[in-house]
Structure 1
Amino acid sequence: MRYIRKASERGHANFGWLNSHHSFSFGRYYDPEHMGISVLRVINDDRVAPGRGFETHGHKDMEILSYVIEGQLAHKDSTGNSDVIPAGDIQRMTAGRGIMHSEFNGSDKDEVHFLQIWVLPAQNALTPGYEQKTIQQSGALTPMVTPDGRAGTVKVHQDMTLSRLRLSENESISIATEKRMGYLHVIKGEISIDSESFEAGDGLGVYQDDTLQIHAHDDTEALWFDLPQL
């Protein structure tokens, strides 16, 4: 059994300064058939105009990950963090018992394109926190976010791992879930899985004891979420 989420079927909100596509229900977009998978609740594919962004607002009891695809994202929060996240970096903000933050395009000239990802924490009322790292690719599948922050990864307060998948044209890889669940989100390029094609913005959810045979038709980047069974 697999869950297929095509880019063209996602929720969409365009406010002029923000053009956002929602893989799962978010804000004004609600679809009971698309509420997330396992502890993964939000993947928003956001493009923000130069010099614009999200004014200061609050979050609570959520692990919020940001992965910048193009441009740079400026972050400020109520715990004193103030950073600019360049393309390729991964950021984690633990909202915990409550945090205020803002996110703006870090450029006055170029658009910023990033993924905003929300993951349910293993427990509520955590101490708010922040972490940001540049993680070099090592092999086709490189962990970026892990439960224990191993090997220089960003630590998340949940039993899940987020890895970046990069394949060259005609390269293939096999990923098995075993007793876990998984979700693949394509960032760029085109891949095929069991004769079905997936392109930028497409997603595929898989359940336990499944194996994905992924073949890249061109240079491809994607995110792979290794998730717990609920």
Structure 2
Amino acid sequence: MKTIVHKADTRGFVNHGWLKSHHTFSFSSYQNPERMNFGKLRVLNDDVVQPKMGFGTHPHQNMEIISIPLKGALSHKDSMGNKRAIEVGEVQVMSAGTGLTHSEFNDSKTDEVNFLQLWIIPEEMGVEPNYEQRKFDVSQRKNKLQTVVSPKDKLEGEALPISQQAYIYRTELDEGKSVTLKPKDGTNGFYVFVTDGNVNVSGNILEKRDAIGVWETEDLEILAKNNSEIVIIEVPMN
């Protein structure tokens, strides 16, 4: 088993006033040659957008983009004609493929929006762009794993499709409870990101916004030291 720990306070940070963003991996003005990616996981941004502010229309190409709201609601509009709000409990995926443009905006006059945005490198370039979002039942991740994203050719349950052999799981663990993961492929790795709480992963104690990458392992146990919420990204490592 190999591991790499990324503590919350080692992430890149930028404060634009309207946007406060922590970058787990190199992104925009934060460039760290030791933090370029974890396997096919290229970006994990933890963004807080102020009321009545947002990202103007901008392009993406050949990237699998996943957004997970943690607080508030984020309005989305794109060049494929989609215009919807993404709310807590929902997950949004965009396969940018040959290219698309979109904007994201906090419509609230009073409340911040906090969301995670992940970029996963696709397994093939130039796919037809695709957009989907879905609300997931919180009870289905209580002390167990809930698959929210999976490969488009190996869809699991209600999981949203992406163009990569990658999976995203969510779980909410009560104190003392645990979940165990086994990689879908022996070459896959797990990136465990604690959105809230305190967990033990392979002897490493992780607190809120800490993360650990684990690979070359047959299984992985996550044990909650107190009530915890976790996002796990399983990706090919090469």
**Where does residue 65 of structure 1 map in the other structure?**
66
Which of 173, 191, 201 matches 2:179?
173
1:150-180 CA-partner distances (Å, limit 9, x unpaired): 3121101100110102101121222233612
Letter in 2 for 1:111: E
Letter in 1 for 2:116: L
**Where does residue 147 of structure 1 map in the other structure?**
151
SS where residue 85 of structure 2 aligns? strand
Matched-pair contact (CA < 8 Å) for 1:84–1:106: no
**Where does residue 164 of structure 1 map in the other structure?**
170
Q: TM-score, normalised by structure 2?
A: 0.92
2 CA distance for matches of 1:32 and 1:96?
26
Equivalent residues in 2 for 1:98-113 (5 A)? Answer: 98-113=99-114
Instruction: Give the length in aligned residue pairs.
Output: 230
**Where does residue 6 of structure 1 map in the other structure?**
7
Structure 1 position 24 matched with structure 2 position 21: no
Q: Can you give the 5+ residue segments of structure 1 that lack an aligned partner in the other structure?
A: none
Letter in 2 for 1:167: L
1 CA distance for matches of 2:197 and 2:100?
36
Shift in Å, 1:54: 0.4
SS where residue 57 of structure 1 aligns? strand
Q: TM-score, normalised by structure 1?
A: 0.96
SS where residue 157 of structure 2 aligns? helix
Percent of aligned pairs sharing the same letter: 38
Q: Can you give the 5+ residue segments of structure 2 that lack an aligned partner in the other structure?
A: none
Structure 1 position 227 matched with structure 2 position 235: yes
Structure 1 position 123 matched with structure 2 position 117: no
1 CA distance for matches of 2:64 and 2:12?
22
1:25-56 CA-partner distances (Å, limit 9, x unpaired): 00010111111111100000000001100011
Letter in 2 for 1:218: N
Matched-pair contact (CA < 8 Å) for 1:135–1:153: no
